[in-house]
Amino acid sequence: MATIRDVAKLAAVSVATVSRVLNNNGYVNKETKEKVQQAIQLLQYEPNTMAKGLAGKKTETLALVLPDISNPFFSEVARAVEDVAQLYGYTVVLCNTDSDTDKEQTYIQVMKRRYVDGMLFASNTLRAADVLMLNKANIPLVVLDRAPANVPCLVVRSKNNEGAKLAIRHLLDTGCRRIAHIYGPQETATGKERLIGYEEAVRSFPWYSPTLMEPGQFSIQGGMAAAEKLMERHPDIDGIFAGNDLMALGALKKLQQLGIPVPGRVSLIGFDGIELTRITEPELSTIAQPIYEIGATATRLLIKKIEGVQLENETYECEVELMARGSTRGNAEAGR
CB-CB contact of 120 with 296 (8 Å): no
What is the sign, positive or negative, of the torsion defined by CA atoms of 15, 21, 24, 27? Answer: positive
Q: Binding to ligand RIB by residue 161, rule CB under 6 A?
A: no
Nearer Cβ to ligand RIB, position 43 or 196?
196
Nearer Cβ to ligand RIB, position 133 or 318?
318
Smallest distance, ligand RIB to C-beta of residue 69, A: 11
The binding track of 200-229 with respect to ligand RIB, each residue x by CB under 6 A or -, is ------------------x-----------
Q: Binding to ligand RIB by residue 271, rule CB under 6 A?
A: yes
Query: By CB under 6 A, what part of segment 229-248 binds ligand RIB?
Result: 244, 246
Nearer Cβ to ligand RIB, position 77 or 201?
77
User: 273-311 burial, b if ≥16 CB within 10 A, otherwise e?
Assistant: bbebbeebebbbbbbbbbbeebbbbbbebbbbbbeeeee
Nearer Cβ to ligand RIB, position 153 or 246?
246
Smallest distance, ligand RIB to C-beta of residue 124, A: 8
Smallest distance, ligand RIB to C-beta of residue 159, A: 11
CB-CB contact of 245 with 287 (8 Å): no
* Residue from the set 272, 286, 305, 320 that interacts with ligand RIB by CB under 6 A: 272
Smallest distance, ligand RIB to C-beta of residue 329, A: 24
Smallest distance, ligand RIB to C-beta of residue 68, A: 7
Nearer Cβ to ligand RIB, position 117 or 272?
272
Nearer Cβ to ligand RIB, position 53 or 197?
197
Measured CA to CA, the distance from residue 275 to residue 279 in angstroms comes to 8
Query: By CB under 6 A, what part of segment 51-110 binds ligand RIB?
Result: 71, 73
Q: Binding to ligand RIB by residue 121, rule CB under 6 A?
A: no
Measured CA to CA, the distance from residue 126 to residue 121 in angstroms comes to 8
How far is the CA of 196 from the CAs of 125, 150, 184, 190, in angstroms?
Answer: 20, 19, 11, 10
Exposed / middle / buried, residue 145 (Cβ in 10 Å: 0-12, 13-18, 19+): buried
Q: Quick one: CA torsion of 77, 82, 88, 89, rounded to 10 degrees?
A: 160
CB-CB contact of 189 with 147 (8 Å): yes
Sites of contact with ligand RIB (CB under 6 A): 71, 73, 145-146, 188, 190, 218, 244, 246, 271-272
